[in-house]
Structure 1
């Protein structure tokens, strides 16, 4: 019988008995906001991961989201907005605490010693993608919709985006980061942010199969057991994958991102004349987005292209802190999510208008010590 550790909570945690050992289950449980992460949820996630890391009875962890619409649609951006406008220029206590704790949780997922299975069904955006990307067994379904559309609100693809975007084939990561283009399950597997496609109708059967296992005391053996459980479900679904967008468009993506500098790349994309609906939507995402944000997105990816996972999260907390203290972020959120007029008054009309000193300021440490300076577990 399932042992429920937390009920009526924004994060549900339970322990599922298996033939030997247990499977820990974490469900993001704010269906009304598409399971968007807030500070409470991050703290609950972190606490449960910490408890199960050292619990010898827990062999694996399964993470999913409540409802059928979304695994997790991102972070609670309106709470970040409230923090930003309450303290213009910073420090923005809630937002900065949220980012630091969220990134710590993301890093712990990437380096977690036990197998972690993520059921990435429905919308997986922003902070949700950060959770999924860090798991060791990432499942996507026919309804998975993934995007990192931060350019539209003057943020950047964080939560480890500087890591997984830079590890995508060719220029795919750069293109997705600059445009906020939406991708599906097939794209997720091609770009390396998901591992298996399994139809959503198999979810309970997957959980049941995990609970039939006689788990080992060895994390490595348990990782293999998870693979053996998931493999037949994935094999059943071969031939049912949706048509991908990224791989068929790689030649275009390569050409569009082939510029002498970020300005030319932006010009290539925003100047694209095409009847292709996916490319046209990607073009419009960048065209309507913040050109200041596009500049720091491009620079962040470039500066972290050879960085370790540890260095990535330390770089991201620095950029997130400087970004949330700048009015461009608040204006982007206002226009898209608060007033919803979709008419942001961006600081600069074009990336060429951004002074070098202004861009440099986002990559200058705003404090004496990086909040994630101690982030070293697993490295």
Structure 2
């Protein structure tokens, strides 16, 4: 097997084109998204975008367990503790700035990619993996797909554009998912706009073969998209998707979070007496999660209810870097992934105790508007 962090291939099509295939290649870490993977993928997508012979792009993960289980937060932790000597507030965040800037640039590229980009969201899709999936032209999920944004467990918050796309779900649902880190299956992903097609895992090889045999016409945007859509029509099998978890509980979830502040929503969720395994698992995750994160989830959804995707990414970069510098991220990763004691010492005992000034401090940008690393993001681009 190749030791490259991302493997690239090009499949010939019957009409003389090629399909670019990118495979995240770190199965031992469930394809956790490293900075090197981000850079390699971004550069190749840039090249494929202007290569007229490339008619479509297919993005997947290696192994049979995960598309991508999230960003490489362990590497971030080590850069903040070993290089920064764990100094607490003001710790070195150079890798964090570099990593999140590159990741959000890549995610935005996928959202605005000029050619049909398909994402095979098989297996675990969490955090940074969802950032890759969410922007695809055709987001394909299978019977093994498990999607989650569990940042509440590590003291971060749902980033990777989630401040924007969670707001496009039914009212209240995005907030509930962000607060609880709830696990979603393929049906949920379809219902909530995180996926476009359900394709059984066993049909992957046949689907790729059919894409190679397709006619991509005059290579116009419409012709390329139409060709991909026609092939996918033949392989989709929504009737085989698992039963959804969110929509059958929609009224209940909206009643829990239909409030004006994070503290009240958290209190209602934790006090919910309903005997339901899915809800109970979500309550438990929230109960042990980071109080500061809960406030950030709520605040980011308020801030980006009506902004552009590029504006959301710019704001997320500020917040993500500040969470590394002075938030609970380092302690959350330590407790969950390094020492694995699952006993984080959060900076506040509960959501009500988080002072407004602590929240506001995390939104102070380290950059001026002219020097922001993502200042040009979105200029000349249109989503969708």
Q: Which bin holds the TM-score, normalised by the shorter protein?
A: over 0.9
State whether residues 148 and 181 of structure 1, in contact with CA within 8 Å, keep that contact through their aligned partners in structure 2: yes
Deviation at 1:7, TM superposition (A): 4.2
After superposition, the CA RMSD in angstroms is 1.2
Name the CA shift for 1:327/1:174 in 2 (closer, same or farther; >3 Å): closer
Deviation at 1:260, TM superposition (A): 3.3
Q: Does 1:378 align with 2:381?
A: yes
Please point out which of 231, 242, 247 is paired with 2:233.
Answer: 231
State whether residues 66 and 124 of structure 2, in contact with CA within 8 Å, keep that contact through their aligned partners in structure 1: yes
* Partner-residue secondary structure (3-state), 1:62: strand
State whether residues 23 and 211 of structure 1, in contact with CA within 8 Å, keep that contact through their aligned partners in structure 2: yes
Deviation at 1:364, TM superposition (A): 1.4
Deviation at 1:214, TM superposition (A): 2.4
Deviation at 1:347, TM superposition (A): 0.7
**Partners of 2:27 and 2:120 in 1: how far apart?**
15
Name the CA shift for 1:102/1:377 in 2 (closer, same or farther; >3 Å): farther
Deviation at 1:327, TM superposition (A): 4.7
**Residue in 2 that maps onto 1:274:** 274
**Partners of 1:18 and 1:81 in 2: how far apart?**
43
**Partners of 1:242 and 1:278 in 2: how far apart?**
15
Please point out which of 31, 35, 51 is paired with 2:47.
Answer: 51
**Residue in 2 that maps onto 1:123:** 124
State whether residues 59 and 219 of structure 1, in contact with CA within 8 Å, keep that contact through their aligned partners in structure 2: no
**Partners of 1:140 and 1:351 in 2: how far apart?**
35
Q: Does 1:315 align with 2:315?
A: yes
Deviation at 1:84, TM superposition (A): 2.1
Unaligned runs of 5+ in 2: none
**Partners of 1:330 and 1:318 in 2: how far apart?**
17
State whether residues 7 and 22 of structure 2, in contact with CA within 8 Å, keep that contact through their aligned partners in structure 1: yes
Alignment of 1:294-309 (within 5 A): 294-309=294-309
**Residue in 1 that maps onto 2:224:** 222
**Residue in 2 that maps onto 1:3:** none
Q: Does 1:9 align with 2:9?
A: no
> TM-score, with normalisation over the residues of structure 1?
0.96
Please point out which of 59, 65, 71 is paired with 1:69.
Answer: 65
Select between 200-209 and 272-281 the one with higher mean Cα deviation: 272-281
**Partners of 2:13 and 2:258 in 1: how far apart?**
52
Q: Does 1:347 align with 2:347?
A: yes
Alignment of 1:251-270 (within 5 A): 251-270=251-270
Aligned length: 372
Unaligned runs of 5+ in 1: 1-5
Deviation at 1:91, TM superposition (A): 4.0
User: Which runs of 4 or more aligned residues in structure 1 lie more than 4 Å from their structure 2 counterparts after TM superposition?
Assistant: none
> TM-score, with normalisation over the residues of structure 2?
0.95
**Residue in 1 that maps onto 2:34:** 38
